[in-house]
Amino acid sequence: MNNDNILAGLDVGHVNTKAMIMRGQEILGYGTVRTGFDVVAAAQTALNHALDNVGISGGELAGIVTTGIFRDMIKVPSLDVTGTEPEYVADAKGALFLNKNSRTVIDVGGNTHKAIRYDQNGNLLDVIQNDKCADGLGIFYTTIAKAVGLSEQEMSELALKSTKDVSIAIQCVLSAEAEAIDLMCQGIDIADVANAISRFIVERVAAMCTYMSLTKEIVVAGGLAKSQAVIRHLPSLIKQDVSVLDLPEYVGAIGAVISYGGGK
């Protein structure tokens, strides 16, 4: 594909569907919608948003590449998908594109999280994904925020104001939610509860990371990477420095484009 080709990457996740439009190395535009129950509609809508942001029509795309958990479900005539990539492949490519020195990406998504090691060409070296009990961290974060009447952004800002560490039972997201509500009913400062939740989430991720050697530089991607309240705990837990990628939730979509010859 030559530099004039405009490619779209679609990362269809459990919670959000992300669309990215690129021409060569240039990011032209992007868009995100909630995935919901109609995966195809979500993919179409996300793509349309991205196209609107760029100011082009779908006909001007040279190809659409999909990734994410539902990548195979959107191979429909209306979308004319060129190809698919597993999310771990796309993540590695996307992370490398955004940070040429990176060699490990930790993706903290809505439902699953993973750590991916790759070489200087973005080829996979190793991957670890969460076990079943640690599913749903991002969804949990959203749920808790709603339970206390906040957006995720507000919850994150509140957690940064915490002055005291509190403990919260963390066998799974279900018990953590019940515990969080219990703590608030006991009068514990909501900022401290928000911080405890944030720490709980990143500890699950960090625990998974201890199975695998993480090669520097380590970068963080995924929707939850945007929460400073969550990510600030990560370096001390994995005992390594990390940096959050720009456009962290779009890493997969970018990687999908790169996998199909984009980014040159």
| Neighbouring-strand partners of residue 113 | 108
Counting contacts by CB under 8 A, is residue 103 touching other proteins? no
Q: Least distance to other proteins from the beta carbon of 70, Å?
A: 10
Question: Which region, judged by CB under 8 A, interacts with other proteins, from 18-26, 58-66, 156-164, 209-217?
Answer: 209-217
Binder of other proteins out of 54, 64, 105, 168 (CB under 8 A): 168
The DSSP bridge pattern shows strands 6-12 and 16-23 to be antiparallel
Question: Which region, judged by CB under 8 A, interacts with other proteins, from 50-58, 153-161, 178-186, 219-227?
Answer: 178-186
Q: Least distance to other proteins from the beta carbon of 224, Å?
A: 15
Instruction: State the Cα–Cα distance between residues 197 and 148, nearest whole angstrom.
Output: 12
- How many of the chain's residues bind other proteins (CB under 8 A)? 42
* Whether residue 217 has a cis bond before it, omega within 30° of 0: yes
**Closer by beta carbon to other proteins, 80 or else 182:** 182
Subset of residues 128 to 167 that bind other proteins, contact rule: CB under 8 A: 128-129, 131-135, 167
Counting contacts by CB under 8 A, is residue 211 touching other proteins? yes
Counting contacts by CB under 8 A, is residue 175 touching other proteins? yes
Subset of residues 29 to 58 that bind other proteins, contact rule: CB under 8 A: none
Question: Which region, judged by CB under 8 A, interacts with other proteins, from 4-12, 74-82, 208-216, 220-228?
Answer: 208-216
Counting contacts by CB under 8 A, is residue 174 touching other proteins? no
- Cβ proximity of 9 and 67 under 8 Å: yes
* Residue partners of 177: CB distance under 8 A and separation at least 6: 140, 143, 144, 147
**Closer by beta carbon to other proteins, 23 or else 204:** 204
Q: How is residue 104 annotated by DSSP?
A: E
* Residue partners of 106: CB distance under 8 A and separation at least 6: 113, 114, 115, 116, 205, 209, 214, 218, 219, 220, 221, 222, 234, 242
Backbone angles phi, psi at 172, to 5 degrees: -160, 175
